[in-house]
Amino acid sequence: MKKRVLILGSTGSIGRSALAVVRKLSERLEVVGLAAGRQIDELRAQAEEFRPRAIGLFSPPAGVSWRQGFPGKTKLYQGALGLSEMVAETEADLVLVAIVGTAGLGPSLAAIRTGKSLALASKEVLVMAGEIVMAEARARKIPILPVDSEHNAVFQCLGGSAFHQVRRIVLTASGGPFRTWDAQRIASATVEDALDHPTWKMGRKITIDSATLFNKALEMIEAHWLFSAPFSAIDVVVHPQSIVHSLVEFVDGSQLAQLSHSDMCLPIQYAFTYPERLPSPVRFLDLASVSRLCFEEPDHERFPALRLARRAGEAGGTAPCVLNAANEVAVAAFLEKKIPFPAISRCVEAAIDGHKPSAARDLEVLQRVDEEARVAAVEWIHKKGYS
């Protein structure tokens, strides 16, 4: 019997890779639902190919014209609440959440609450509401399968080991396009410079996060929740070859690492087929041809994101929600060329400075804090005189 998969974010880089995995494993996997943001034409083409039972559009344009052109019997959903309804109502075995930003939170909880396995590629879900999401998953015994290459690597290396056997988790970072740039050069970096990632081809927001290292900052908080790891046991090392995707150091001194070429099809396939391993179209790794694997400490002066993440994570409660929300606002402002690159981190730090953390008791609290942090970030941008 085929595993029924519902993919949220099907037109993004993760979603397209997920569909490539389904094509290769069509005898094992079936797409029962697809959802996207605004790329209606691509979504229509995907629906024509995979014939899902449900289609969702997070940001539909005004009017009903977007509904035209989909297979006749497909049920259509729209908006944030619509995606959660789609997840709850569609018969699926696994839901892949690959939506940028906080929009993946509602559908993730809907998957857990309706007994579906959750393959998570949206870091913001656990950064914003890790305590709530993990508590619900544990209560319902729903597995959360990490899709990020780093967390998927840690998941593989742990192999079911209890965390008391682990000394630390080490997340690897490519270093992004500015790894070798000095602070003065980084200060004048353009949007085009920041989007020119040396290793990965990703969406615009996550590519900017990689340039600031906020991508790795969010991953630290995500790892805390996924693996019940204290922040003192989570480290980051820069590894420009992006061959070692992360490693786990155990209390006996052993280190286990997961190595492969940079191809998101591999962690996606592992999440889709877990606990099985199946042949993959991914290019196999020849270590002799790689010849060198380099590692270096991250520079916290040029890239303050890691320091801010550790500060927010250790403060706990609503602090990570503020970090995430302010970062989203700042990244959007940078992409619109309203603020310079270093202002992203300064904006986030100002939002954290102005927030008094409280308990993340429920989604209503987090939604309020998220909104307040966004307002604070926008106000900081205006106060600094940026257009």
Q: Is 291 a known ligand-binding residue?
A: no
| 149-158 and 265-273 helices, crossing angle to 10° | 50
Question: Is 356 flagged in the annotation as binding?
Answer: no
> Residue 358 annotated as binding?
no
How big is the CA angle at 147 (ends 96 and 22), to the nearest 5 degrees?
55
214 phi, psi to nearest 5 deg:
-65, -25
DSSP 327-367: HHHHHHHHHTTSS-TTHHHHHHHHHHHT-------SHHHHH
Rg from Cα positions in the chain: 20
37 is in an annotated binding site: yes
DSSP H or E stretch at residue 247: strand 244-250
Q: Is 114 annotated as a binding residue?
A: no
Annotated binding residue 44: no
Asked whether residue 63 is marked as a ligand-binding residue, the answer is no
Residue 322 sits at the vertex; the CA angle it makes with 120 and 297, to the nearest 5 degrees, is 70
> What's the CA gap between 101 and 124, in Å, rounded?
6
Task: Say whether 67 counts as a known binding-site residue.
Answer: no
Q: Is 136 annotated as a binding residue?
A: no
Are 331 and 208 in contact, with CB atoms under 8 Å apart? yes
Quote the CA–CA distance of 288 and 350 in Å, as a whole number: 47
How far is residue 322's CA from residue 348's CA, in Å, rounded to a whole number? Answer: 8
Q: Which one-letter DSSP state was computed for residue 67?
A: G
Annotation-wise, does 27 bind a ligand?
no
59 assigned binding-site residue: no
102 is in an annotated binding site: no
Q: Is 38 annotated as a binding residue?
A: yes
54, 31 Cβ separation under 8 angstroms = no
CB 124 within 8 A of CB 147: no
Does the annotation flag 387 for ligand binding? no
The answer on whether 150 is annotated among ligand-binding residues is yes
Residue 326 and residue 348 in contact, taking contact as beta carbons nearer than 8 Å: yes
Distances from the Cα of 339 to the Cαs of 93, 276, 302, 344, in angstroms?
43, 47, 17, 8
Q: Is 385 annotated as a binding residue?
A: no
* Binding-site residue positions for 1-deoxy-D-xylulose 5-phosphate: 123, 149-150, 174, 197, 210, 215-216, 219
Known binding residues = 11-14, 37-38, 123-124, 148-150, 174, 197, 203, 210, 215-216, 219
Q: Residues forming the annotated binding site for NADPH? A: 11-14, 37-38, 124, 203
Provide the annotated binding site for Mn(2+): 148, 150, 219
